[in-house]
Amino acid sequence: MRSILVLSLKLLVITLVAGLALGATYAITEEPIRQQNILKAEAARKSIFGEADFEQATEVEAIRATDERFAGVTDAYYAVQSGQITGCVVSIAASGYGGDITLTVGVDPEGRIAGLEVGSHSETPGLGAKARDAAFKEQFAGRRAPLAVVKSDQPSENEISAITGATITSQGVTDATNLAAEFAARLFAAGGK
């Protein structure tokens, strides 16, 4: 009986020490990780709209509340140059084969996709991870939503050629881009700023 008590006490001490070490590590790394995520988000916005200034859209929560399809929208920014809104950047989660894919989608005031950046994902290396490749992402630029995914090397005007072997990823990114474009249209209709 005594040996069980001693073993239990040792296990409790080890668990407490491990828990405290994990808690301390989290406390130390939380802020640097948050800062890195902010820098990545800024870089994604700038890769789409270049040297524009970005102002956070204040209407995000109100628009999200109107339609549950927008639940994956995490934030939105207006791209502003010389005092004029030149576009909108929407951060949204897409459903991929391996889980959520974070996207940053730029839309101009005329409703054309200005570009997109793929952030974090858990897609299969060599297949779904190709969503980050320029060859896939560049298909979206200049097109108007709604876009459809096709298994063809010759997509038409409003079609996106699927990544070979990664149709689910391609469909998820395209669906999220369509939603981001619709969300941006609602932001522009709300008057911007």
Answer whether residue 57 is part of any domain: yes
Integer Cα distance of 97 and 103 in angstroms:
15
Please indicate, yes or no, if residue 83 is contained in any of the structural domains. yes
- Inform me whether the pLDDT recorded for 99 exceeds 70: yes
In this predicted structure, what is the pLDDT of residue 163?
86
Report if residue 29 sits inside a domain: no
C-alpha span between 128 and 94 (Å, rounded)? 12
Give Cα separations from 184 to 2, 17, 34, 73 (angstroms).
67, 49, 25, 11
Which pLDDT belongs to residue 192? Answer: 60
The number of domains in the chain is: 1
- The string of pLDDT tens digits covering residues 33-85 is 778 877 788 888 888 988 889 999 888 888 888 889 998 999 999 999 888 88
Q: Which domain holds residue 114?
A: 47-189
Amino acid, res. 139:
Q
Q: Give 35-39's long-range contacts (Cβ < 8 A, gap of 24+).
A: none
Instruction: Let me know if residue 131 belongs to a domain.
Output: yes
**Which pLDDT belongs to residue 121?**
77
Instruction: Answer whether residue 27 is part of any domain.
Output: no
Question: In the prediction, which pLDDT does 160 show?
Answer: 87
Q: What is the pLDDT of residues 111-152, one digit of tens each?
A: 999 999 988 777 677 776 778 788 888 989 999 989 988 887
Q: Are 104 and 119 in contact (CB under 8 A)?
A: yes
This prediction has a pTM of 0.78
Q: How do residues 174-189 score in pLDDT, each as one tens digit? A: 999 999 999 999 998 8
pLDDT surpassing 80 at residue 92: yes
CA-closest candidate to residue 101, choices 177, 186, 42, 40: 177
CA–CA gap between residue 60 and residue 20 (Å, rounded): 38
For residue 18, tell me if it sits in a domain: no
SS3 119: coil
Residue 152 belongs to a domain: yes
> Does 22 map to a domain?
no
Give all strands (DSSP E) within the chain, no chain letters. Answer: 53-56, 73-81, 84-95, 100-107, 113-118, 148-150, 159-161
